[in-house]
Amino acid sequence: MSKYDVIVLGSGPGGYVTAIRASQLGFKTAVVEKENLGGVCLNWGCIPTKALLKSAQVFEYLKHADDYGLKVNDVDKDFGAVIKRSRGVAEGMSKGVQFLMKKNKIDVIEGFGKLKPGKKIDVTNDGKTTEYSADHIIIATGARSRELPSLPQDGKKVIGYREAMTLPEQPKKMIVVGSGAIGVEFAYFYHSMGTEVTVVEFMPNVVPVEDEDISKQLERNFKKSGIKVMTSSEVTKVDTAGKGVKATVKTKKGEEILEADIILSAVGIKSNIENIGLENVGIATDRDKILVNDYYQTNIPGYYAIGDVVPGQALAHVASAEGILCVEKIKGMHVEALDYGNIPGCTYCTPEVASVGLTEKQAKEKGYDIKVGKFPFSASGKAKAAGTPDGFVKVIFDAKYGEWLGCHMIGAGVTDMIAEAVVARKLETTGHEVLKAVHPHPTMSEAVMEAVADAYDEVIHL
């Protein structure tokens, strides 16, 4: 039996980052992985989807070359090559994680890990089971596509995000059920490639966790581009008996039958907590999540959990932050509990969506007297020059103390801009301080300053 200081179960952006930080802190560390290093994010999520979306964006640029005074003839796409490029990017990133494991002297144990009492873990690979032990075992097994009873996935006609990234051929018609980040990103990608796309969302607005103004703007953009959007609608039944698939959709006006080649189910995720030995050890769970304290300790000493398997936003950057905090606490360092109210969310369709903090509705519900500012990219010189004038920046401040309560963006490149608001909120920056911090011109980022100026009735370019 091999003995370690720290064993991490799972090598996604939570797991491998945790392992590296543990090694940096002097712990003898191993990571257990049943599939590919990097987990879903690097292999089937964050990274390869961005490669697909970039291909879609370039394709759209080429189709609209005339808008930039350029002539491009016979623009077409090779769907297979687009998928192949995405897989190549994912494979390269996974190899990068392999390099980081070697560089940091972390043992990679291949196989399916199952927790045991006494701070032990069995790893099964090719029918052979080996026992390992550690002073600290950190669970980072992530999540998978959630299935609804009314929408069972068969991997062919009703698919999840993994199949959506490797379809052998492009569908002519697709129904996307769910309009969270995964749903709208794939809706944009396939529509850009030429697929007829319909988005079905149960809630009244697309990207329902976002500020309502953002949701309405994205829906307008989608409809303008030709994507059909059905909100306050629910798929109640699917029929895969024929050549394609038929979906029965319940709407406010009654039932409607939609036909397509494929349905993509993007209705959320399911934590990977089954069959990993939680019951054997006595680790407490509630509603599909492992219960932990502020430092990710479970109810059983020596066992910890981070990432999608614990309460909190199921995001790669959250899992990484949780893992780092967890091992630093184990080391005895002074750490602060993670502020889940200051976690940025990013959606990479076109236009992009990024946000942090409270929405306008949430701020009002909490009883704040607020100042709201908005600045449209149609008034931004950089956005106009780039040909990306759609969208805006919206900021929300507490009128009494100037606290930056929320920031919401929709437009080109906003996922790279949101960090300004995250850092400023972490530093408890006031609206006046943001306003007096000189922003470079011409940039997209100066729209943040202009939105703040609008909140304080000092806007110049609007």
Residue ranges, comma separated, of all CATH 3.30.390.30 domains in the chain are 351-455
| Residue whose C-alpha is closest to residue 407's, from 339, 343, 319 | 343
Structure tokens at 3: 């003995």
Considering the domain delimited by 158-267, tell me its CATH architecture: 3-Layer(bba) Sandwich (3.50)
Residue 444 CA to residue 382 CA, distance in Å, equals 6
SS3 262: strand
Cis amide bond preceding 208, omega within 30: no
- Residues contacting 428, CB < 8 A, separation 6+: 403
Does the domain at 351-455 match CATH 3.30.390.30? Answer given as yes
SS3 432: helix
Q: Which of 64, 432, 441, 461 is catalytic?
A: 441
* DSSP per position, 6-23: EEEE--STTHHHHHHHHH
Q: What is the pTM of this model?
A: 0.94
Residue ranges, comma separated, of all CATH 3.50.50.60 domains in the chain are 2-144+270-340, 158-267
| Contact of 247 with 265, CB cutoff 8 Å | no
Q: In angstroms, how far apart are the furthest CA atoms of the chain?
A: 69
Q: Annotated catalytic, 441? A: yes
- Nearest-5° angle of CA 274, CA 167, CA 269? 30
Structure tokens at 242: 């024929």
Residue 389 CA to residue 221 CA, distance in Å, equals 12
Q: CA torsion, points 444, 449, 455, 461, in degrees to nearest 10?
A: -70
Phi, psi at 105, each rounded to 5°: 55, 45
Considering the domain delimited by 2-144+270-340, tell me its CATH architecture: 3-Layer(bba) Sandwich (3.50)
| Contact of 1 with 129, CB cutoff 8 Å | no
From first to last of the 462 residues of the chain, give the pLDDT tens digit: 689 999 999 999 999 999 999 999 999 999 999 988 888 878 888 899 999 999 999 999 999 999 999 999 889 999 999 999 999 998 999 899 999 999 999 999 999 999 999 999 999 999 999 999 999 999 999 999 898 998 999 999 999 999 999 999 999 999 999 999 999 999 999 999 999 999 999 999 999 999 999 999 999 999 999 999 999 999 999 999 989 999 999 999 999 999 999 999 999 899 999 999 999 999 999 999 999 999 999 999 999 999 999 999 999 999 999 999 999 999 999 999 999 999 999 999 999 999 999 999 999 999 999 999 999 999 999 999 999 999 999 999 999 999 999 999 999 999 999 999 999 999 999 999 999 999 999 999 999 999 999 999 998 887
